[in-house]
């Protein structure tokens, strides 16, 4: 079974500073995908970034980067130059199999989330 | 990107009534849709996996007779909360799968 652990219920960061949100995972699969989602107070789930288990380079998407340490089974999200609009709940998730590998019915396993507050 | 809609975005109903929530993939066909439930300040909990033209697969502990799921077409899945009670009040989110899961905006259900 897959498991995602987010140990930080809440995090605070000053505007314009960088922040790291922790995520560790457990799986017996060799092929898997890791995701980060942002959920503002409106409730929508916003996809931020994806890392495949065989990707050697850390994924980056604008101000978001994923610090992937496979041996430690960690997939931390780094947000650079925080903005007030980054205040939200952040969820780490994983699925069996890689994106683009075909098939369907790929369930996502979510962590409990980290509430990020960006202070002006 | 792929767009998924949900209707209604919020609903208030009386205890004992049934409520139907629609999930539509607007610009793609999804053979699989997922339904999640989220309580305040908690994570998303998968309720069921819905495949077009077949019965939904429910997660352990989810009452299939209470949460009826229908996936009649490749772009529409519905979740009906039957005989709703206050403890069913929650945020319900669907996602549609096209290689990855694309999430709807969610439906906030309040049962009085």
List, for residues A68-77, the tens digit of each pLDDT value: 999 999 999 9
Tell me if A105 and B97 make a contact (CB, 8 A cut-off). yes
CB within 8 A of A62, min separation 6: which ones? Answer: none
Residue B112: CB atoms within 10 Å: 10
Dist CA B22 CA A25 (whole Å): 33
Q: Which of A12, A3, A20 is nearest to A73 (CA)?
A: A3
* pLDDT tens-digit map of B20-47: 999 999 999 998 999 999 999 999 999 9
Average pLDDT over residues A59-86: 97
Of residues A43, A104, A106, nearest to B106 (C-beta): A43
What percent of chain B is modeled with pLDDT above 90? 88
Residue B72: CB atoms within 10 Å: 10
Does residue A87 surpass a pLDDT of 90?
yes
Does residue B96 surpass a pLDDT of 90?
yes
Test mutation, A2, A35, A43, chain B, max B CBs within 10 A: A43
Does residue A102 surpass a pLDDT of 80?
no
User: What pLDDT score was predicted for residue A97?
Assistant: 83
The verdict on B46 touching A (C-beta cutoff 8 Å) is yes
Tell me if A110 and B43 make a contact (CB, 8 A cut-off). yes
Q: Which two tokens stand for residue B108?
A: 């906030």
Residues 49-78 (A) with a CB less than 8 A from some CB of B: 50
Does residue A113 surpass a pLDDT of 90?
yes
């Amino acid at each position: 079974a897959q498991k995602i652990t987010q140990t930080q219920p809440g995090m605070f960061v000053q505007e314009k500073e960088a922040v790291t949100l922790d995520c560790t995972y457990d799986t017996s699969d060799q092929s898997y995908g890791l995701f980060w989602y942002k959920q503002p107070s409106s409730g929508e789930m916003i996809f931020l970034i994806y890392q495949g288990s065989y990707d050697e380079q850390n994924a980056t998407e604008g101000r978001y980067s994923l610090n992937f340490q496979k041996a430690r089974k960690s997939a931390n999200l780094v947000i650079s130059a925080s903005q007030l609009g980054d205040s939200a709940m952040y969820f780490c998730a994983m699925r069996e199999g890689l994106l683009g590998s075909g098939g369907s019915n790929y369930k996502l396993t979510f962590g409990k989330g980290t509430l990020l507050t960006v202070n002006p | 990107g792929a767009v998924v809609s949900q209707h209604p975005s919020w609903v208030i109903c009386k205890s004992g009534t049934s409520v139907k929530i629609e999930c539509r993939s607007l610009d793609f066909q999804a053979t699989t849709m997922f339904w999640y439930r989220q309580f305040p300040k908690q994570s998303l909990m998968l309720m069921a996996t819905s495949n077009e033209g077949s019965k939904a697969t429910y997660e352990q502990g989810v009452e299939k007779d209470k949460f009826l799921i229908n996936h009649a077409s490749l772009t529409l899945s519905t979740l009906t909360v039957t005989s709703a009670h206050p403890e069913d009040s929650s945020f319900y989110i669907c996602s549609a799968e096209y290689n990855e899961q694309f999430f709807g905006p969610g439906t906030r259900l309040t049962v009085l």
